[in-house]
Copies of this chain bind each other. A is one copy, B any other.
């Protein structure tokens, strides 16, 4: 549990932010210059706001009113900076091990070999950071923070400089850390990452909190879609892993019906969050036959929200869940969709990628 509230005026820019982050990953999301780094710096103890209060797992790190301001070195946060900030005079190995000597021996944390293996930096250990590539620097910087055995992880766009494959190796690691109980404050512009990792999303805009709450709520709110990038709007369904068919497909049971996916998200019974992109959902009045798409979920139109550019968001109610679909207005008319009309949502199995499945 992390509580953050701060306000500060830079003259040309003012922040005034307050939010609470429950366990798990909390994503700070917002446009460039929205104040994400500023907030994270305040949590790390690198920036002292005029007024502010930061409480992490019950310990008060900052309370300007009561004059408490724990220095950065005693906050035990692992901070992956937006720019790598590696120590130029130390080898990659020494950079990685820098925090270890100051860490509590008893504190839990990933092992050295595990981290360098996951980050693919084994071949760089004796190099100096100066001649590393951008992505290599970013990876070493992640490793350095992880190996300091922090009790709170602050990550400021940690994967921005990395390719998809590498990202795919690091994200599960962060998920595991999160599942082991390490709270993470995560800044990213990649909504896929955020949707996958974060249970809580704090949406910042010009130094203010625009929305904060469970990821599912924030992402399925059509009003926030412009801030998330319209193409990225979608719904998050709570799912339980079911049987694996002989052909390798896995059934996820949701309140809206079964969804077959091609990715293996965990053992049967595991609870997950399944993200459906609104743009991926096709609607049909009749139950369609002979389609390659395996997932056909019946529902009732609940709300239609027109969008500029000839499009509309249609919300289907399916039991206790709701699914958002993004259609053209022409289709809305052609299908005669209106609140109360029954129809089917069609979803391709392969459209559900690993990025869309997050642990519940």
Name A's B-contacting residues (CB within 8 A).
10, 12, 30-33, 36-37, 82-83, 123, 127, 131, 133-136, 138-139, 156-157, 160-166, 168, 189, 191, 226-229, 231-232, 245, 247-249, 260, 262-264, 279-280, 282-286, 288-294, 309-311, 325-335, 346, 348-351, 353, 355
Contact = CB atoms under 8 A, between A and B. Distances in A.
A282 B249 contact: no
Contacts of A232: 164
Contact of A350 (B226, B247, B326): B326
Given A83-B134, A163-B32, A291 B292 contact: no
Contact of A165 (B83, B136, B229, B293): B229
A9 to B, nearest CB: 13
A282 B286 contact: no
B350 A311 contact: yes
B328 A350 contact: yes
Given A166-B31, A291-B346, A37 B311 contact: no
- Give the number of times this chain occurs in the complex, counting copies: 2
A97 B327 CA distance: 45
11 contacts: A30-B163, A31-B135, A31-B163, A32-B162, A32-B163, A164-B189, A291-B346, A293-B331, A294-B330, A327-B348, A328-B349
Nearest to A131: B10
Give the most central of A30, A82, A331: most B CB within 10 Å.
A331
Give the most central of A249, A294, A330: most B CB within 10 Å.
A330
A82 B134 contact: yes
B330 A350 contact: no
A277 B297 CA distance: 23
A191 B327 CA distance: 24
Given A12-B123, A349-B331, A284 B290 contact: yes
Contacts of A229: 163-165, 168
Given A134-B83, A284-B291, A310-B249, A165 B330 contact: no
A296 to B, nearest CB: 11
Contact of A282 (B310, B311, B335, B348): B348
A83 B135 CA distance: 11
A170 to B, nearest CB: 11
A325 B292 contact: yes
Contacts of A335: 290, 292
Nearest to A156: B134
Contact of A328 (B32, B131, B189, B294): B294
Contacts of A135: 31-33
A310 to B, nearest CB: 3
